[in-house]
Structure 1
Amino acid sequence: MTSLFLLGAAEGGLFDFDATLPLMAVQVVALTFILNSLFFKPVGKVVEEREGYVSTSRAQAKEKLAQVQKLEEDLKNQLKDARQAAQKLINEAEEDSDNLYKEALALANAEANASREEARKEIDSQRASALNELKDEADQLGELIVSRLLEAK
């Protein structure tokens, strides 16, 4: 123990190298092992499971986002196609409507022209018959005047 005195350590002091140091080392190792097996491993497992869940959730979210973007693009294309088809139908309907209008207008004009021509022919025939009647009446009246003048003389 004299060598311990040379190092400046007194018995029971701060640097006492008796059996307490290895006992404390064994206690620290045992405590570390116990804490590791009771607390750190279960907590580590929970943390790893949580990380796994988070990473799989993120991967699934990325996949779903990609699917949503693909579906959105498909729907946009379908909407674009539907709009084009609708516009085409509208244009065709407008053309058909214009053609029907033009046909109806041409038919109405033809009927109006035919009716006008028929009315003109009827008026001309009525005028001709009226002129013939007037001529006949004028001839009769002229004969009547001549016959009365001759009788009066």
Structure 2
Amino acid sequence: MTSSLLFGATEGGLFDFDATLPLMAAQVVLLTFILNALFFKPVGRVVEEREGYITTSRAEAKQKLAEVQRLESELRDQLKEARQAAQKVINDAEQDSDKLYREALSLATNEANASREKARREIDSQRDIALTQLKADADNLGNLIVERLLASK
């Protein structure tokens, strides 16, 4: 009895080693198997399925992103080509317009020069006619003066 008083343990106390310990151990093991079968495996399966779904979703998303980037690159190239083609069309149109302008300007200049040349020839012709007539009138006037001077003598 002194030994039980020294250690502070009494029968049925805190550290009573009878059949309760193996029974509790068996209950813990049995409860572990039951919980594992009923809760942990289904929950683990759901978690694994979700993990698989997330993994495949991420892989698909990466593939789609790569496809989008490829398409975006192709569209940018097409847009660049379209811009270059449009710029070429604009440049060609500007060159054609400039060519037509120069041709029209040349034609108008040629017509103006021809008209000016025709007017100059007409003026020269009329001047020659006027000079011839003036010369004839001057000769007539000179003859008339000479006749009157000779007649008055």
Establish whether TM, by shorter chain, passes 0.5: yes
Identify the range of structure 1 (71-80 vs 30-39) with the bigger mean alpha-carbon deviation. 30-39
**Residue correspondence of structure 1 range 31-110 to structure 2 within 5 A:** 31-110=31-110
Distance 1:129 1:142 in 2: 19
Deviation at 1:72, TM superposition (A): 1.1
Distance 1:41 1:152 in 2: 160
Deviation at 1:109, TM superposition (A): 2.3
Q: TM-score, normalised by structure 1?
A: 0.80
Deviation at 1:50, TM superposition (A): 2.0
Amino acid at match of 1:72: E
Give ranges in structure 1 of 5+ residues lacking alignment. 1-9
Q: TM-score, normalised by structure 2?
A: 0.80
Deviation at 1:69, TM superposition (A): 0.8
Deviation digits for residues 22-78 of structure 1 (CA, Å, limit 9, x no counterpart): 321221122112322333223213312321221122011101111111111101110
Distance 1:66 1:137 in 2: 104
Distance 2:60 2:16 in 1: 60
Distance 1:147 1:46 in 2: 146
Distance 2:90 2:16 in 1: 101
Percent identity between matched residues is: 71
Distance 2:107 2:38 in 1: 101
What RMSD over aligned residues (CA atoms) do the two structures have, in Å? 2.3
2:48 matches 1:26? no
Deviation at 1:133, TM superposition (A): 1.5
Distance 1:56 1:21 in 2: 49
Q: Which runs of 4+ in 1 moved over 4 A?
A: 10-13
